[in-house]
A and B are shown apart, each in its own frame.
Chain A
Amino acid sequence: RKEVEQDPGPFNVPEGATVAFNCTYSNSASQSFFWYRQDCRKEPKLLMSVYSSGNEDGRFTAQLNRASQYISLLIRDSKLSDSATYLCVVNEAGGSYIPTFGRGTSLIVHP
């Protein structure tokens, strides 16, 4: 059974802090990876794709470690508006394409 695991948190951090989440996946053949954020009772919204070389978008940095089968998300200078649940999504390789979501990591940024 293919699994995507995340620490549910919550991570409670003050404004301005740096926080990092990991997501582990079980299928070594997984091909593409994404981070989404989800606000309470809302739809998931794409935060960023995760590339093999790592990628950065403003305060957000995503990395992929294929050897250890995990992806990470680093948020610098946390804002109150970053409070949300962060979902890891892993897509399989080969003929079957079924995206697998993690349960999400809850982040609470407080003043």
Chain B
Amino acid sequence: EPEVTQTPSHQVTQMGQEVILRCVPISNHLYFYWYRQILGQKVEFLVSFYNNEISEKSEIFDDQFSVERPDGSNFTLKIRSTKLEDSAMYFCAISDRRNQPQHFGDGTRLSIL
């Protein structure tokens, strides 16, 4: 059974629209992460989240991105005004410690039209 589930599995959205991707860890974890993987390219770190705040973020994670954990279980990634280049797989991951292996969800495929 996966430790993390992500919804939706596939999201198709018009350019300029807002999207919210969701991640639900099965059990309690301390660290949460979002990554993206553009088709045919490497996995890229976006942001890490600990103790209800962002702990690190990459240069990709600009003002159009935000994360939150609204109800203590779901962990969401919001993209405010999507661009064509936001089309990618988005993976959520969790770990118990900062420098420990991470376990990934099965991803959301985001397609921007």
Q: Which among B41, B101, B107 has the greatest number of chain A C-beta atoms within 10 A?
A: B101
B105 contacts partner chain A, Cβ-Cβ < 8 Å: yes
- Tell me which residues from 25 to 59 in chain B have a Cβ below 8 Å from any Cβ of chain A: 33, 41-45, 48, 55-56, 58
The answer on a CB contact under 8 Å between B42 and A101 is yes
The answer on a CB contact under 8 Å between B91 and A103 is no
The answer on a CB contact under 8 Å between A87 and B48 is no
* Residue from B89, B101, B105 within 8 A of A46 (CB atoms): B101
B75 contacts partner chain A, Cβ-Cβ < 8 Å: no
A91 contacts partner chain B, Cβ-Cβ < 8 Å: yes
The answer on a CB contact under 8 Å between B89 and A103 is no
The answer on a CB contact under 8 Å between A31 and B42 is no
User: Chain B: how many interface residues by the 8 Å CB criterion?
Assistant: 22
The answer on a CB contact under 8 Å between B105 and A97 is no
Contacts of B56 in A (CB 8 A): 96-98
B47: min CB distance to chain A, Å: 10
* Residue from A41, A45, A87 within 8 A of B43 (CB atoms): A87
The answer on a CB contact under 8 Å between A97 and B103 is no
The answer on a CB contact under 8 Å between B91 and A34 is no
Q: Which residues of B contact A (CB under 8 A)?
A: 33, 41-45, 48, 55-56, 58, 89, 91, 98-107
15 interchain pairs (CB within 8 A)?
A: A32-B99, A34-B101, A38-B43, A43-B91, A43-B106, A45-B104, A46-B102, A91-B99, A98-B56, A99-B33, A99-B45, A99-B102, A100-B45, A101-B42, A101-B45
List 4 additional contacts besides A43-B107, A98-B48, A100-B45; criterion CB under 8 Å. Answer: A34-B101, A42-B106, A43-B106, A46-B103
Q: Which residues of A contact B (CB under 8 A)?
A: 31-32, 34, 38, 41-46, 49, 87, 91, 96-104
